[in-house]
Amino acid sequence: MDPDALQEEVDEWVREGIISESQAEAILARYEDESSGRSRVVVALSLVGAALVFAGVVLFLATNWADLPRAARMAVLIAGPTLAYVAGIVAYDRSVPRIGHALCVLGAVLVGPSLFLFEDLLTLGVDPEWLLLAWTVAILPTAHALGSRVAAGFGLAVVVALVLLLSSPDDPVPAVGLLGVALFALGHTREGAVQWTYRVGGVALAIGTLVMMTVLEGQFELYTFGPSAVVGATAVGTLLGIGWLFADGDRESGGWAALTVVALALATGLAVTAPDTVPELAAFVGLHTVALAGVASTGYLGYLRRSRAYIDLAVVGALLQSLSFVEATVVDALSGSVALVVAGLLLLAAGVALERGRRSLLSRI
């Protein structure tokens, strides 16, 4: 059976409640393990080939761009993404979908550099926010049309860059965290590779935000937060997403999203009020506490939903938080080589404990 057809069939089974997400992942993994490996080789060659083409185009532009006439530059900028898309469509028509997939993703990725170089070439005065928005409009529909996790990942990265840019000069961390929760909720609208990327990417952004807040120890005066329009927009999207999750009967996901929003609000409040209102030590402990709550709730959600991806993200988040805590306590309190040895031993112990916990959860599901 063709892997693409199997993916569609398995997604349909998950939508109908016949199997869980973890069972779907196991079915796909089993099929791949029992196959001849030819499809993996094709996928690998396609991705490597597309990456080499992208690298070659970038290298060519970097070395010869100034020597090209303006008309030639415009032609290159238009031809790059256009030819990639056209070649991808032709590959799909010739029954080589994986190569077509790689080429279409390449075309979507090339849209962004082309837009920025066009703006620089013609000095149109277009703000970078609009260029990133146009790139998003190109790459996310491509991801949905192809059912591509890779293109969806690129698209979400562009969306995060847009949020970072729009949040300036205020700290963008709260907006990014709220965006993560909104993407998590959006990913539950249906099953599919792109929606899976939304869910996992949203969890990664939210947990990453909470862990990032723990490194503010000793730097609270540098934290700037303002109720900007982007924070308001992401907050509204997050609240709508949480409401939809509960209305749809998904209390597990809705509970995780609500708890994460509360944790983000508490972390932001502690960062804003420290050290003037809240003592710095209390703020530091509070930030680690809410981050730990977010990490633990993610692991519990992974256990309830039988999702290896959520569990792995929780383990990575806990490890990064441990690193942040050790750096802010042991490394600062001790000196030189002693601090390095003690910090290293503590991190090794934490890593062993987290891996054992991860294996225990995975064995239970």
pLDDT in tens, 292-347: 999 999 989 988 888 888 888 988 888 888 888 877 777 666 666 666 777 777 77
DSSP class of residue 16?
T
Q: For position 325, what pLDDT does the model report?
A: 82
CA distances from 166 to 75, 139, 231, 260, 282 (A): 31, 19, 10, 23, 31
* pLDDT range class, residue 240, cuts 50, 70, 90: very high
| 163 and 235 part of one domain | no
Number of Cβ within a 10 Å radius of residue 182 = 26
Answer yes or no: is 54 within a domain. Answer: yes
Q: For position 214, what pLDDT does the model report?
A: 86
* pLDDT range class, residue 30, cuts 50, 70, 90: low
* pLDDT range class, residue 146, cuts 50, 70, 90: confident
Query: Which of 140, 167, 194 is at the close of a domain?
Result: 167
Q: What is the mean pLDDT of residues 160-184?
A: 87
| 190 and 275 part of one domain | yes
In the chain, where does DSSP find H-type helix? Answer: 3-15, 21-34, 38-64, 70-93, 97-122, 128-146, 149-167, 173-186, 193-213, 229-247, 251-273, 280-305, 308-333, 336-364
> CA-to-CA distance for 156 and 169, rounded, in angstroms?
22
Structure confidence by residue, pLDDT tens digits, 253-301: 999 999 999 999 998 888 888 877 888 888 888 998 999 999 999 989 9
> CA-to-CA distance for 286 and 263, rounded, in angstroms?
10
- What domain count does the chain have? 2
| 159 and 182 part of one domain | no
> CA-to-CA distance for 308 and 292, rounded, in angstroms?
19
| 149 and 222 part of one domain | no
DSSP class of residue 216?
G
Confirm if 99 and 47 have CB atoms less than 8 A apart.
Answer: no
Determine the angle formed by the axes of helices 193-213 and 280-305, rounding to 10 degrees.
Answer: 160
| 208 and 356 part of one domain | yes
* pLDDT range class, residue 32, cuts 50, 70, 90: low
pLDDT at 67 exceeding the cut of 60 = yes
| 243 and 302 part of one domain | yes
* pLDDT range class, residue 35, cuts 50, 70, 90: very low
**Proportion of the chain above pLDDT 70, given as a percent:** 81
Answer yes or no: is 162 within a domain. Answer: yes
pLDDT at 36 exceeding the cut of 60 = no
> CA-to-CA distance for 238 and 34, rounded, in angstroms?
41
Query: Which of 167, 193, 220 is at the close of a domain?
Result: 167
Q: For position 351, what pLDDT does the model report?
A: 74
Rounded-to-10 torsion of CA 134, 140, 145, 151: 120
Least confident interval from 148-152, 304-308, 351-355: 351-355
| 127 and 195 part of one domain | no
Find, among 301, 113, 327, the residue nearest to 211 by Cα. Answer: 327
> CA-to-CA distance for 2 and 13, rounded, in angstroms?
17
Q: For position 41, what pLDDT does the model report?
A: 60
DSSP class of residue 279?
-
Question: 64 is in which domain, residue-wise?
Answer: 36-167
User: What token pair was written down for 154?
Assistant: 């690129």
Answer yes or no: is 22 within a domain. Answer: no
Answer yes or no: is 16 within a domain. Answer: no
Find, among 293, 320, 348, the residue nearest to 215 by Cα. Answer: 320
Answer yes or no: is 27 within a domain. Answer: no
Query: Which of 145, 167, 189 is at the close of a domain?
Result: 167
Q: What is the mean pLDDT of residues 164-185?
A: 86
| 148 and 107 part of one domain | yes
Answer yes or no: is 25 within a domain. Answer: no
CA distances from 41 to 5, 34, 228 (A): 18, 14, 47
* pLDDT range class, residue 133, cuts 50, 70, 90: very high
